[in-house]
Chains A and B, each alone.
Chain A
Amino acid sequence: MTIKEIQDAIVEDFSMFDDWMDRYAMLIEIGKECPLIDDKYRDDKHLINGCQSRVWLSAEMKDGKVYFAADSDAVITKGIIYLLIKVFSGQTPSDILDSDLGFLDKIGLKEHLSPTRSNGLLSMLKQMMLYAEAFKLQEDKK
C-alpha cells in the first residue's frame, strides 16, 4: 500500500468514533498491544529525549525500503508512534520525504506533534525524515 492509502485507512478506522474518549481509548489499546522495538535498541544511542516522555527509534534499509522500529515509555505517545511507523515503514526514502501528515489532523491528533508538547514525537518525526534523507543519499551514490 502507498503512504496515502495507509493514511486513508487509519482515518477511516478512527472515523468510527465521534467521541475523543473513544479515539484515545483506541490509541491506548494500540499503544499497549504493540511491542515495537527490540530491547537492544532501548538504549541511550536510540533515545530521543522529549522531556515529558521518552522515545526510542531505530531504522534500517532493506531492498530499497526503510524499516523503522520505535517505542516510548508513555502509552499515548506509543500509540501515535505506532501510527507513524505503520505509515512510513516499508516505504522508499523518496516516498517518505514526499509525504504529508494531514491524516493526523483528520483524526484529531495533530496537537501531539506540536513543538510545545515536548513528548518527543516531533523530534522523532524529524529523525525519521533524516534517516530517509540519509538512506536516499546512500542509494543515489550507488
Chain B
Amino acid sequence: MDSTYINEIRRQFPILNQQVYGKPLVYLDNAATTQKPLCVIDRERDYYLHENCNIHRGVHYLSQMATEAYENARRTVAAFIHAAAPHDIVFTRGTTESLNLLASSLGQLLIEENDKVLISAMEHHSNLVPWQQMLRQKKGQLLVCPMDDNGVLDLQRYETLLDEKPRIVSIAHISNTLGTINPIKEMIGMAHKHGIPVIVDGAQSIAHHYIDVQSLDCDFFVFSGHKMYAPMGIGGLYGKSDWLEKMPPYQFGGEMVDQVSFEATTFNKLPFKFEAGTPNVGAALGLESAVRFIESLDRNQIEAYESALLQRAVEQLSEIEGLRFIGQAAKRSGLVSFVIDGIHPYDLGTIIDKMGVAVRTGHHCAEPVMTRFGIPGTVRASFALYNTMEEVDVFVKAVKKAAAMLR
C-alpha cells in the first residue's frame, strides 16, 4: 500500500503527531487501546454540543433525537458484524463488561452444581476470572484447553474436553498476548455438534478483521469500542436472539423494566432488558463513527498492510541475539510478543519509552500465559492501520540499542 494513503489516514489521528521526551511518538500499544480519528472525537463532541439528552423516556424533541441517534448506532454496529437484527446487539462498557454479563446471566441460566465451562489457556483475565468466580459460587469446574509451545491451541484436546460436556465454551478470537488467530469457526462447529453454545471474545479481532457473526455461527460475540478507534467506555455484546430472550437480566433499574410494583417487576424486551441505567450515548455515537471510519477504508488492503507491518517487525527482530518470540503460530495478527535473554521486559520498555516508543511490557493481564511460558512478562508491540514501516524500523532500532545498554 502506498505511503500517501497511510499518511492521509494518519492525519486523521492528531494525537500521533507529537513528540515525547523530544522524540517523535511511535505508538505501538494498539492492542491496549487504539487512538481515535477526528470523526470519532467530533461526533462525541457534537453530541454534547447539540444533542445531549436522556434517551428512551422523554417526549420532547431532544430526547427523541438522541434516542433515534442511539438506536441508529445500534443498527450500524449490527450491520458491521452482520448480526441478524439490531436487537441482537447490547451496548456495554466493553469486552470485560460483556463477559461479566454473560458469566452472570448465562451462568444463571445454564450452570448448576458440577457443571463445567471450557476456556483456553491463552485467555486474558477478562475471559477467565468472571467464569472462575461464577463457577466457584456454583461449585462448578473450569476446563482449560491447552496450547503448544508456539501458542497454538490443541484441537484434539479441545475435542476430548468437549466430551466432558461443558455447558459453555468461551474462546478468544485472537490472543492479546501471542497474536494467535484461533480457528474459531471450526471450534464453534465442533462445540455445536455437542450442543454447546460458544462465546467469541473479539477484543483483538474486531478492528483488524471482517466479522460475520452469522457465518461464524457463534452464539455470542463480545468486543470493546476503544480497541477499534472508538471512545472508551463503550462496547458490545452480540447474542443470538434465542439466547438473549432466555437469559435473565444482569443489572436492574432504568429502561430495562417493563412494569414495576413493590411486589413484582416485568422486564423490557431486547435489547433494553440488558441495558440498565442511562447508557453512554455519546460514546455509542462515537462507536458508530468509528465503524463508518473502518468501513470507509479498503479493508482487504488494510489487513494486508497491517500484516506487512507485523512481518517487517518479526523479520527485523529475529536478527537480535537472544531474542525469543512468545507466540509463533502460523496464523497471527496484529502484534508481536517477545523476551530477550537476560533482559527484564520492564527494563527494555523503560529504555525504549525514553526513545519515544510506546509498547506494553508485563503480563498483559494474562498471567497464566506467562506461567505457561515460564517468563515474568513480555515486550509486546501491537500495530494499527496508522503505523508506518518507518515506525517499525525506529522501534526495532530502539530495541537493539536498549538491549545493548542492558546486556
Q: Hey, which bits of chain A sit against chain B, CB under 8 A?
A: 20-21, 24-25, 28, 51-54, 73-77, 118-119
Contact = CB atoms under 8 A, between A and B. Distances in A.
A52 B354 contact: no
Given A52-B361, A52-B377, A24 B346 contact: no
Interface of B: 21, 344-347, 350-351, 354, 361-363, 376-377, 405-406
Contact of B346 (A20, A21, A28, A76): A76
A98 to B, nearest CB: 31
A74 B351 CA distance: 12
A76 B405 contact: no
Contacts of B362: 51-52, 118
A77 B351 CA distance: 12
B348 to A, nearest CB: 9
A75 B351 CA distance: 11
A76 B345 CA distance: 11
Nearest to B402: A24
A28 B406 contact: yes
A85 to B, nearest CB: 19
A71 B299 CA distance: 49
A24 B344 contact: no
A118 B346 CA distance: 10
B347 to A, nearest CB: 5
B377 A24 contact: no
Nearest to B350: A76
Contacts of A73: 344, 376
B339 to A, nearest CB: 12
Given A28-B405, A52-B361, A75-B406, A21 B347 contact: no
B405 A25 contact: yes
A79 B26 CA distance: 27
A53 B362 CA distance: 8
